[in-house]
């Protein structure tokens, strides 16, 4: 008799990790401009298929939601990651559509910055992963890495690179920054927790910490 496959904690962790990686991949390779044009000019462009573009966006959003929802952690953290994904992606789409029809114009540089596809992908995937992985607050400093893609995109555009080169560089940058950020956060989290554990077990250090906390409060 074949062994029964159980969707236990380890299986949920693995499925969630694969889901987040795949969602991030779809998020960065999907042509967001096509989605916005589909909403703005539905039925006007002969080569446009609005339903397909909307479906791609919803699949990407759905993958994030399912991946974070099945992660083996507390309900509050799963909800936090799902909320981050939904709010970020829906706001991103809304702002993009409003910019496309001309309702949001100035300042151009600011809106280009906050709607950068690479930055949004990293914010949702890396930010959500840090939440469900229960990283310490100090480890969230790695989210500063999301500020790199907008600058890189601007340099590529100013350099007049081909669309293919732009896509390859953007995808590679997001992959490297995402994996590096997750690894760096894990390293910082481990170091911080080790220091806290050492402080609790060392009476002298614990006394110094308590004295410093009392001084700050008073």
Residue 209 forms part of a structural domain: yes
How far, CA to CA in Å, does 42 sit from each of 96, 107, 144? 15, 27, 37
Asked whether residue 32 carries a pLDDT value surpassing 70, the answer given is no
Q: What is the mean pLDDT of residues 185-199?
A: 80
- Residue 168 CA to residue 147 CA, distance in Å, equals 18
Residues 80-95 have a mean pLDDT of 90
Answer yes or no: is 79 within a domain.
yes
More confident residue, 40 or 24: 24
The C-alpha atoms of residue 205 and residue 116 are separated, in whole angstroms, by: 45
Per-residue confidence (pLDDT) for residue 50, from 0 to 100: 58
Q: Which residue has the higher pLDDT, 9 or 51?
A: 9
Over range 60-87, report the average pLDDT.
92
Tokens of 70: 């099945």
Q: Is residue 122 domain-resident?
A: yes
HEC sequence for 119-187: HHHHHHHHHHHHHHCCCCHHHHHHHHHHHHHHHHHHHHHHCCCCHHHHHHHHHHHHHHHHHHHHHHHHH
Tell me if 54 is assigned to some domain: yes
Q: Are 127 and 34 in contact (CB under 8 A)?
A: no
Comparing 37-46, 115-124, 178-187, which segment has the lowest mean pLDDT?
37-46
**Helix 163-201 with 117-132: angle, nearest 10 deg:** 30
Q: Report, as an integer, the average pLDDT of 162-176.
A: 84
Q: Distance between CA 216 and CA 208 in Å, rounded?
A: 12
Residues 6+ apart with CB under 8 A from 77: 71, 131, 132, 134
Closest CA to 39 of 55, 29, 54: 54
In a domain, 52, yes or no: yes
**pLDDT (mean) for 204-214:** 52
Using DSSP, state whether 43 is helix, strand or coil. Answer: coil
User: What confidence tens digit (pLDDT) does each residue in 41-56 have?
Assistant: 555 545 555 566 678 8
Number of separate domains in the chain: 1
Banded model confidence at residue 164, pLDDT cuts 50, 70, 90: confident
Mean pLDDT of the chain: 79
Predicted local distance difference test score (pLDDT) of residue 167: 81
pLDDT at residue 130, as a whole number: 92
Q: What is the DSSP-derived secondary structure letter of residue 1? A: -
Identify whether 81 is part of a domain: yes
Range of weakest confidence among 25-29, 54-58, 198-202: 198-202
Q: Which domain holds residue 162?
A: 9-217
Percentage above 90 pLDDT, the chain: 26
Tokens 């039925």 label which residue? Answer: 43
* Residue 78 pLDDT > 60: yes
Q: Stretch 27-54: mean pLDDT, rounded?
A: 60
Q: Tell me, yes or no, whether 3 lies in a domain.
A: no
The Cα–Cα gap between 117 and 28 comes to: 6
pLDDT for 1 equals 45
The encoded tokens of residue 193 equal 């927790």
Q: How confident is the model at residue 124 (pLDDT cuts 50, 70, 90)?
A: very high
Is residue 41, in this structure, part of any structural domain at all?
yes
Residue, of 162 and 36, whose pLDDT is higher: 162
């Amino acid at each position: 008799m074949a062994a029964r496959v159980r969707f236990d904690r380890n299986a949920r962790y693995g499925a969630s990790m694969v889901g987040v990686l795949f969602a991030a991949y779809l998020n960065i390779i999907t042509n967001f401009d096509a989605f916005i044009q589909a909403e703005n000019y539905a039925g006007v462009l002969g080569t446009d298929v609005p339903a397909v573009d909307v479906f791609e966006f919803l699949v990407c959003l759905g993958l994030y939601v399912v991946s974070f929802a099945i992660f083996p952690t507390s309900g509050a953290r799963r909800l936090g990651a799902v909320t981050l994904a939904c709010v970020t992606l829906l706001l991103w789409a809304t702002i993009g559509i409003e910019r496309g029809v001309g309702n949001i114009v100035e300042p151009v540089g600011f809106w280009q910055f906050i709607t950068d596809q690479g930055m949004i992908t990293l914010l949702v995937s890396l930010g959500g992963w840090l939440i469900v992985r229960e990283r310490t607050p100090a480890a969230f400093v790695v989210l500063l890495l999301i500020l790199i893609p907008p600058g890189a995109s601007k340099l590529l555009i100013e350099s007049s690179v081909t669309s293919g080169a732009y896509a390859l560089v953007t995808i590679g940058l997001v992959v490297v920054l995402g994996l590096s950020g997750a690894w760096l956060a894990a390293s910082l989290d481990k170091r911080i927790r080790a220091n806290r554990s050492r402080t609790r077990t060392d009476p002298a250090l614990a006394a110094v910490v308590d004295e410093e906390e009392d001084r700050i409060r008073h």
